[in-house]
Amino acid sequence: MLENLQFELKSMRYKIILDVIGKLVTQNAYISHEKISEILNEISVHQKLENKLEIIIKGERFKVLLFLFLLPIIIGGIGGLFPLFNFMIGNISFSGSLSFSVISELLFSIDFIIIFFSLLFCVYTSSHFFLEIISYERKRMLIVISNMIYIIAFFSAFINILNYF
């Protein structure tokens, strides 16, 4: 009977427990009662700990999902300002407005491209690993959404700064 139950259960833990119970019962039925009670109490304690862990992970899941939407906004907003600092210090006089050639030069400068893609990579890796920690099923979709939020925040901060010149 225990062999049939072991075959039906998929969990390796329960198979081991049933194997131990089977050995205890074959050795001495009177003493096995106490041992089985101890095993059941231990299983109960472990199940309570697993339930607490699941509750903690669900709470952390909310924090991670909130972080996944706030991180690209903050990094994109601040990152959109960085390419302008170097350009403002070196090339722009603060009395005039920016022409189209200056803006296109700024957009296709190596500093702008390096900063944009390095921050995009940071958002991608942090999103991937945070979703890996909470073992979220639809990682790709959330990573793409997070990266799109970063791109929108980066360019909106960049365009907002250009409007001041």
pLDDT in tens, 89-106: 665 554 455 566 666 666
Q: Is the pTM of this model over 0.85?
A: no
pLDDT in tens, 11-53: 677 677 777 777 777 777 677 777 777 777 887 788 888 888 8
Within the chain, how many helices (H) and strands (E) appear?
7, 0
For residue 40, the number of C-alpha atoms closer than 13 Å in the C-beta half-sphere is 7
pLDDT of 113: 84
Place of tokens 């407005």: 97
State which amino acid sits at residue 160.
N
Distance CA 118, CA 150 (A): 12
Residue 52, both tokens: 């607490």
Task: Give the three-state DSSP class for 1.
Answer: coil
Distance CA 147, CA 149 (A): 5
Distance CA 12, CA 35 (A): 20
